[in-house]
Structure 1
């Protein structure tokens, strides 16, 4: 059985998952922020916050992960695994393979 740090190698980081899913839906960062604000009724999310998530500067909290799942039509467990992988990577998990 693989330990959690070894699993990081096999799991996409949340920054990668959010960016790829957003682009696949044809959304800009601003459009995703607006979609999240409209869906959640919470106007506090901005394009800048989406950018921080996608650059790996911040990991969206549980509240925004729930709305990201709904807005980007992603399975909750996939987004949660991606968030865990990002946290482990920040804490010195194994180096990620270069994605080119």
Structure 2
């Protein structure tokens, strides 16, 4: 007789989603709660989305505040964050990450190159002198 496999421990993104939804909060509300608790007004719902989609992993500062506002032990979030980082670092070297080193999504080339559109510059070299954005 074999023993059942150990329970699968979630990565950080799904764990955050589960706890956020259990509270009935939107990403915007979660960001607002984090800002209020931490006294930092610069966190947006976009960053919460990035954490949940695992495009980014929050650092220790935000992990502590996430634990506080979601009422989850910080060690649970820290372990999930470490697991997510390990999986991401293993996957980064695998196929399907990015087709060409340095290529941006959508096939667009880097700074100063318009991807060959008619009338555009293909010289490269970044921003023009005196240009403002």
- If the length of structure 1 is used for normalisation, what is the TM-score? 0.81
Give runs of aligned pairs for residues 33-48 of structure 1, distance below 5 A.
33-48=31-46
Cα RMSD between the aligned structures?
Answer: 1.6
Structure showing greater relative contact order (alpha-carbon pairs closer than 8 Å, 6 or more residues apart): 1
Larger proportion of helix: 1
| Cα pair 1:11 1:81 within 8 Å, conserved | no
Please, which runs of 5 or more residues in structure 1 have no aligned partner? 1-6, 94-100
- Residue 49 of structure 2 aligns with which residue? 51
Q: Where do 1:25-36 residues align within 5 Å?
A: 25-36=23-34
TM-score by length of 2: 0.62
User: What do the CA deviations read for 1:16-62 (whole angstroms, capped 9, x no partner)?
Assistant: 11111000000000000000001110011100000000000000110
Q: Secondary structure at the match of 2:87?
A: helix
User: Which runs of no fewer than 5 residues in structure 2 stay unpaired?
Assistant: 1-5, 92-133
Which residue does the alignment assign to 1:77? 75
- CA shift at 1:10, angstroms? 3.0
Q: Which runs of 4+ in 1 moved over 6 A?
A: none
Bigger radius of gyration, 1 or 2?
A: 2
The corresponding residue for 1:24 is 22
Q: CA deviation at 1:11?
A: 2.0
Structure 2 residue 89 is matched with structure 1 residue 91: yes
